[in-house]
Amino acid sequence: MIQSRQVQLLFVLLLALLLGTGFMHGKSLEKDLDLVEERNEIFMETYKKLDPAGMSELYTADAKLLPPNSESVVGSDNLVSYWQAIMDTGISEIKLHTGDVERYGKALVEVSIAELHGEDGELVDKSKYIVIWKQERGTWKMYLDMFNSNMPVE
């Protein structure tokens, strides 16, 4: 026998799905911004500790880092080497200024600014970047990470 309750339950499920996925593409939500800002804090702390292995753990297992003047960097070992190399150039701190965060399905798309500081704290480079965040076992990680400089070629 068909229960009125079953129909109600289905309507609630439909509504939850619509609210949960269908209407949330490309919307900016305070909680998504908070979430990315939190992750960016961890990025900054990890970099400041000059911990390249910690940096690689901020990426999904299938992540792709697309840095300027380099092929794409894929895989945990290559990510460690990449961040070690950046640290070796004397960049002591990377300050992230979280800009726009938009949700598309299960991904968050971030467009922000990064400031790179040298050993004496001087500003070495100002970059813009796109990060696509995805959840991996409950933790938001970088799936695509691309940046380039805002400064003219010297």
The backbone torsions φ and ψ at residue 79, rounded to the nearest 5 degrees and listed phi first, read: -65, -40
Interface residues with its own copies (CB under 8 A) are 2-4, 6-7, 10-11, 13-14, 17-18, 20-22, 24-26, 64, 66-72, 103-107, 109, 111, 128, 130, 132, 134, 144, 146-153
Question: Could you give the C-alpha distances from 154 to 89, 92, 93, in angstroms and in order?
Answer: 17, 21, 22
In the complex with its own copies, which residue's Cβ is closer, 50 or 126?
A: 126
Closest CA to 41 of 104, 109, 95: 95
- Closest contact distance (angstroms) between CB of 73 and its own copies is 11
Helices (DSSP H) in 28-125: which residue ranges? Answer: 30-48, 52-56, 76-88
Closest distance of CB 108 from its own copies, Å: 9
**Of 51 and 115, CB closest to its own copies:** 115
Choose between 33 and 146: whose C-beta lies nearer to its own copies. 146
In DSSP terms, which residues pair with 71 in a beta bridge?
none
- Smallest distance from its own copies to CB 84, Å: 18
